[in-house]
A and B are shown apart, each in its own frame.
Chain A
Amino acid sequence: MLTAAAKFRIRVNGRIHDVYAAPRTPLLYILRNDLKLNGPKFGCGLGECGACAVLIGNRSVRSCTIALSAVRDRAVTTLEGLGNSDAPHPVQAAFIANNAAQCGYCLNGMIIATVALLASHPHPTETEIRNALRYHLCRCGTHIEILAAVRSAAAWSAEAGQAGDGAVDDRATSHDPHEAAS
């Protein structure tokens, strides 16, 4: 059944956005089209492949399965919100250092899942790493490099001695009332 569009206020990458859309619109389309974020990718729309993963709080979720109306005031973090190429998040840096991409389309989900893994398991075993990524699909066969990147990221966060160092700081918020979507 169709539901009329309504205004929703969401918090993404530390900024508040007002968007106007039908409540059941998958968050993925809001992030990509209204917020013009390219990190989360459309891969299946069925929650199967993980290309659209984002962090909500410190959990990795598939944004194609999250209704806009379900987000409420939870903090959403996309790949862009983790860091940029000048100041990448440690997990992003580990993926870059390990050349952990071929086409790179699945990379978003791999990085997001790794950040979530390290937030809950700062010292993951090999099995924990593989299980954390098992429902993230890669077709290029970059698994070896991705596993190496996750191990590097885990080692770095262990060295830093801060459990959950990879966690996302979502406290900072700024409100831009001009962000309202078309």
Chain B
Amino acid sequence: MTDRHDRPSSDYLNAPDTLVVVRPAASGPDDLFVAISSTGLVTAFNGHVDLGTGIRTALAQIVAEDLDVAFDHVRMVLGSTAATPDQGATIASETIQIAARPLRFAAATARHYLVGLAAQRLGLTPDDVTVQDGIVRPKAVSNRSVSYADLIAGPTIRLELDLGAPLKPASHYRIVGQAQPRVDIPAKATGAWTYVHDVRVPGMLHGRVVRPPYAGFDTGAHVGTSFIAVDEASVANIPGLVAVVVIGDFVGVVAAREENAILAMRQLRVTWQPAPDIPDLNAPEAALRANPSTARQLTNQGDVDRGLAGAAEAMNRTYVWPYQMHGSIGPSCAVADWHESGLTVWSGTQNPFPMRADLAKLLDMPEERIVVARLEAAGCYGRNCADDVTADAALLSRAVRRPVRVQLTREQEHLWEPKGAAQVIDVRGGLDLEGGPAAYDFETRYPSNLAPTLPLILTGKVPPVADVLQMGDRTAIPPYAYGNLRVTVHDMPPIARASWFRGVSAMPNSFAHESFIDELATAAAVDPIEYRLRYLRDSRAVDLVRAVAERAQWLPHTKPQTLGGEGDILYGRGFAYAVYVHGTFPGTAAAWAAWVADVAVNKVTGDVALTRVVCGQDTGQIINPDGVTHQIHGNIIQSTSRVLKEQVSFSSTAVSSQEWGAYPILTFPDVPDIDVLLMPRPDEPPLGAGESASVPSAAAIANAIFDATGIRFRELPLTPERIRAALNPLPPPAPPATAAQSGWRHWFPFAALAGLGALIVTAMPFRPSIAPIERPRANVFSAETIERGRLAAAIGACNVCHVGHDGVAFAGGRALDTPFGAVYATNITPDPAAGIGAWSYPAFARAMREGVSRDGHHLYPAHPYTSFAKSSETDIQALYAFLMAQPASPSRAPETTLRFPFNMRPLMAGWNALFLSSASALADISRSPEWRRGAELVEGLGHCSACHSDRNALGAERKGGAHLTGGVADGWHAPSLSTSRFAPVGWTAEAFYDYLRTGRSAEHGAAAGPMARVIESMNALPDADIRAMATYLASLNESAPSVSEASAAAARAIAAGVAASRPADLAMPVAARLFTGACASCHAETMTLTSLALTTSLHADRPDNVILAILQGVDAPTSSQAAIHATAASDVPVSAGMPSFRNTLDDQSLADLAIYLRARFAPDKAPWTGVNEAIARSRAASP
């Protein structure tokens, strides 16, 4: 069942010692339904697929039952074009109701044949025998028996499917109707199941796609035509890159390793036409009304207009449903293997046969040469990107002639999955004089279609023209006997890419039906259930409604707010009912379902808790009661999530919800108690159970909220802010000020250069070259010296700046952004041409201390020679030895070319005259040796001030009071080391030690940005040096707290953050949800990470570090083993990194999140200003 390859049907059709039940096909091989081997094993075939609903188990129960074999002798093959019959797409909950029928008759056909044959062998008639578990025995007491296996031998026994074969009466069922554990779960729970994501074929490469900017929209002239150019050089450095593939607007990359394909996808520079503006779909009503449509009247009974005119009071209502996502937990994935003779795809498609037709069209290849092997994927509830990614993989495999696996990203799945469409429903009605429904005039708008497979559209194989499908009519006819009834569907094309989602248009239509009748009941002062029963004619519906009301102990009531409340909480209870009618109008009914929902509404915050649901369902005959119950649970939880929380967000050009923070779904703390009532109908045909229980959800919950609050809500989702706006309007939050502020730094202006020019006269602008030498041999330096040099390089973190592009140590080339332009770090390996191999020690020492290169040109102070000037001669010598002992790299770093006048290197001479001093103030002999060592490291080789001191207009570190009081590195604010200016907790020597040793301090959090690399570099240092630095740094902090003071301050800051969370959540609900969905899995107060309330970045006067951390992520510093052992805890948790959200959050979300984080975690600080400018700066600084 988890085979990567299902054997093709041809393996069975002519196999000896096999019985097959087939249906002759018009052309080609027979359709195969059942194959029984001479060992008695049964393989059964169904063209539908298991979407996680357990049909693999239920279908096997059906086969085992009607064949009378043991359940565990049956194996199902599902949805493979090579093996199973074409039974169309797996949709509309119809596998059991419709697609299982031929299978059931195939089992009965085989049983009828085998029992007849067995009876013959026993010398009896079929009426005289009985069969159980594949063994036929005389009914009379006897020890004789014949098994099915005994009867299958020799040439293939071929039986034609007999749709008249006798089925067993339900009263004889032994397997159907019994709870059957799912066959797939043991393997899934142990990692032994093969999902499509787990397919690996020999020689497989990894592909990723790069989608165009019109994310989530698939119609319009720009679709398939927006590609302008791709810069392949932008990915030239990716190891193992195999190809960049462009076909129209289809862009993909292929690499040998998955992480490198991801890197290539992120790095590839593609130029696109800007996406055109879209209508506002965040409040979809106007856009849907404006969308061109064709009215289609489904029914018109009685005299609606006259009824409306006669209503005591007109009740004209509009119901609005938002765009929603299917939201598969696993983004779609597929593997394709294209070769000259054909194509095999391993796909999670819901529709293997239509998928094959799409691939044939996409690749101009006959369908017979394509095999679609279907493997299970993450649940999809309608449509996800499974088909799209299958086509993506096929295109990439064809391009590289190798098998390619393509995994979509979370962002791509969110952006591009065909959405569940928004819907707008208008109902006009009212009460007649007797309190009955005067008329019911219903109009619905549903912009959705089949969502053609995306690569067909991106490559231009299918024109980007929106088909109009008649799918808005599902359950559009109300279940109640309204005398004057008119139902109209406005058929319309999609706006955003959309396709069916569980309950299709029936769920919004029923939201309107069931909300409206509830409103009629209240207006008529009749209990809502009693009122429905007056107009419900379907006896199974009536039975169900009564049974559910009884099970829930429904108390009849004629007005809301009879359940009262406690404190801020109001209680309410609501009812709704639906029979899900799907398929082409007038459609087919699936199971009936009814809900009683209990809610608790917080009238201050607007939070709605669904506390309990009693859900009854009439599914007809139940194959697997456990399976049906689980489906109902799933439908209740998922539909509750949709009703309370879910709405896709759009920018002005595209879908903007790209991850779970922007599109939150229900999580464990919010799961209601659920009581399921299954109506016993063993003699009725089985009905689809996959979606029905979702359909009443929205109205049941909205009716319960009405019961609690007396207010009707007709637009979803029922978010706290929507509820609160009606119940308890708060003043709008003060808009965050966005006034621009000048940069952190007050670099230059040019006027300052006048003074500098004057200085050149007295300084030495031109310095002599020092003659080149032969590269010193490594053996001229002692191992001891080289080791000391290694530590000097570690404390100097030389490789943080001088690292090569491909990671080669000291090879140079990294750009260091300065306000004057990019300064490129040079190659400092001992390569004589590209590096410093030809440098003598005096040349090296001069460069280190005076900032002059061997050839006499001045270095820019991005090279922190002003600090190195303070380091000891021994260390500089050792560093020289160490560098000369390194492998030489011939890689040449780019030339630094600053803009005028900074490109005038001789000017640096004047600069040096002003700012370079080698005077060492570190030899304070009144201090301890540890302090002095710390001072030497911090102020000398460690060159902390290069980043942690502000620089003046000429790029020089400011001295005196500004020394180590905070500066900038790579756009990051390097906080003050001499005052705890922003940190909510003062720095102790212990905290400095933990931070420098392990990259994190319990009271300050983790190192991020360039500092993380510095910490890694310092892994090499002995503990004594780290302690020395901590001692020196703590001594700079005059107000350094004691350890107990620090923990008290930390506790206060955390408590302030906790206290601020509720007002922050209330003021910024969208950002609060973003935090919960995107950040809290690591940053919730209950997690082991240091609280964000202690993070200096959130208390700083600028938001840059917070924004940079979100954009770039944080590579956790890798602690050395020594560092791990040096910390007190014996079990140091592994350092998780923070992922980059650069391509996941748009600027608006980033700004909202930053403002929220400040309000929540630094509540005593003023809100940040200039957030938008900081985002622009940070994006520019984040490659």
Contacts and interface: CB of A to CB of B under 8 A. Distances in A.
Contact of B195 (A38, A64, A140): A38
Interface stretch (B49-57, B103-111, B312-320, B706-714): B49-57
Contact of A141 (B635, B660, B1124): B635
B1137 A133 contact: no
B459 to A, nearest CB: 26
Contact of A131 (B195, B407, B669): B669
Contacts of A21: 257, 259
A85 B186 contact: yes
A22 interface: yes
A166 interface: no
Given A4-B807, A80-B191, A141-B633, A65 B1138 contact: yes
Interface stretch (A67-75, A154-162, A171-179): A67-75
B188 A104 contact: yes
B729 interface: no
Interface in B1067-1125: 1077-1078, 1080-1082, 1084, 1086, 1088, 1115-1116, 1118, 1121, 1124
Interface of B: 51-54, 181-182, 184-195, 197-198, 200, 206, 237-239, 257-260, 263, 326-331, 333, 376-379, 381, 407, 409-410, 626, 630, 633-638, 641, 659-661, 665-669, 671, 674, 803, 805-808, 814, 1077-1078, 1080-1082, 1084, 1086, 1088, 1115-1116, 1118, 1121, 1124, 1131, 1133-1139, 1141, 1144
A42 B54 contact: no
A170 B1121 CA distance: 19
A123 interface: no
Nearest to B693: A141
A103 B690 CA distance: 13
A143 B329 CA distance: 14
B420 to A, nearest CB: 13
Contacts of B667: 133-135, 137
Given A56-B1134, A65-B1139, A70-B1118, A144 B671 contact: yes
27 contacts: A1-B807, A2-B237, A4-B806, A24-B1115, A33-B257, A37-B191, A39-B190, A48-B660, A48-B1078, A66-B1134, A66-B1137, A72-B1121, A85-B189, A92-B190, A96-B185, A99-B182, A102-B379, A104-B185, A105-B52, A129-B668, A130-B668, A133-B667, A133-B668, A139-B378, A141-B634, A141-B666, A147-B671
Contacts of B54: 102
Interface string A30-67: 00110011110111111111110000110101101111
Given A1-B803, A23-B1118, A69-B1118, A49 B263 contact: no
A42 B188 contact: no
B182 A49 contact: no
A180 interface: no
Contacts of B1133: 56-57, 59, 61
Contact of B189 (A1, A107, A138, A142): A107
- Taking each of A56, A136, A139, which has the highest tally of chain B beta carbons within 10 Å of its own beta carbon? A139
A108 B191 contact: yes
A11 to B, nearest CB: 12
Nearest to A133: B668
Nearest to B1016: A69
A75 to B, nearest CB: 10
Contacts of A80: 190-192
B334 to A, nearest CB: 13
Contact of A46 (B189, B806, B1078): B1078
A41 B190 contact: no
Interface string A101-138: 11111111001000000000000000001110111111
Which 7 pairs from chain A and chain B are nearest by CB?
A103-B52, A141-B637, A39-B191, A141-B634, A4-B807, A103-B379, A135-B1081
B263 A99 contact: no
B329 A137 contact: yes
A139 B384 CA distance: 13
A139 B185 contact: no
Given A5-B239, A38-B195, A131-B1086, 7 more contacts: A57-B1134, A66-B1135, A67-B1116, A71-B1134, A88-B190, A99-B185, A144-B671
A36 B191 CA distance: 11
Majority SS of interface residues in chain A? loop
A172 to B, nearest CB: 18
A25 B260 CA distance: 9
A133 B667 CA distance: 8
Contacts of A24: 1115, 1137
Contact of A82 (B190, B330, B409): B190
Contacts of B258: 29, 32-33
Interface of A: 1-5, 21-26, 29, 32-33, 36-39, 41-51, 56-57, 59, 61-62, 64-67, 69-74, 78-80, 82-85, 88, 92, 95-96, 99-108, 111, 129-131, 133-145, 147
Contacts of B1137: 24, 65-67, 70
B192 A142 contact: no
Nearest to B414: A44
A52 B1119 CA distance: 23
A70 B328 contact: no
Contacts of A50: 1081
Nearest to B187: A85
B1081 A139 contact: no
B209 to A, nearest CB: 15
Contacts of A111: 189
Contact of B53 (A22, A47, A92, A102): A102
Contacts of B194: 38
A139 B1134 contact: no
A134 B669 contact: yes
B1134 A43 contact: no
B1042 to A, nearest CB: 31
B279 to A, nearest CB: 28
Nearest to A26: B259
A95 B191 CA distance: 13
A130 B197 contact: no
B1136 A61 contact: yes
Contact of B1141 (A46, A78, A96, A147): A46
Given A2-B807, A42-B407, A69-B1118, A95 B189 contact: yes
Contacts of B637: 141, 143-144
Contacts of B674: 144
Contact of B1136 (A49, A66, A72, A139): A66
Contact of B634 (A5, A65, A142): A142
A81 to B, nearest CB: 9
A46 B1139 contact: yes
A85 B190 CA distance: 6
A59 B666 CA distance: 24
B660 A49 contact: yes
A63 to B, nearest CB: 9
B827 to A, nearest CB: 16
Contacts of A140: 52, 379, 634, 638
B671 A38 contact: no
Nearest to A87: B190
Contacts of A36: 200
Contacts of B660: 44, 48-49, 137
A104 B1138 CA distance: 26
A143 B1118 CA distance: 36
A39 B1124 CA distance: 29
A99 B181 contact: yes
Nearest to B237: A2
A143 B379 contact: no
Contact of B630 (A44, A57, A99): A99
Contacts of B328: 105, 139
Contacts of B668: 129-131, 133-134, 136, 143, 147
B671 A105 contact: no
A117 to B, nearest CB: 12
A48 B190 contact: no
Contact of A48 (B181, B184, B1077): B1077
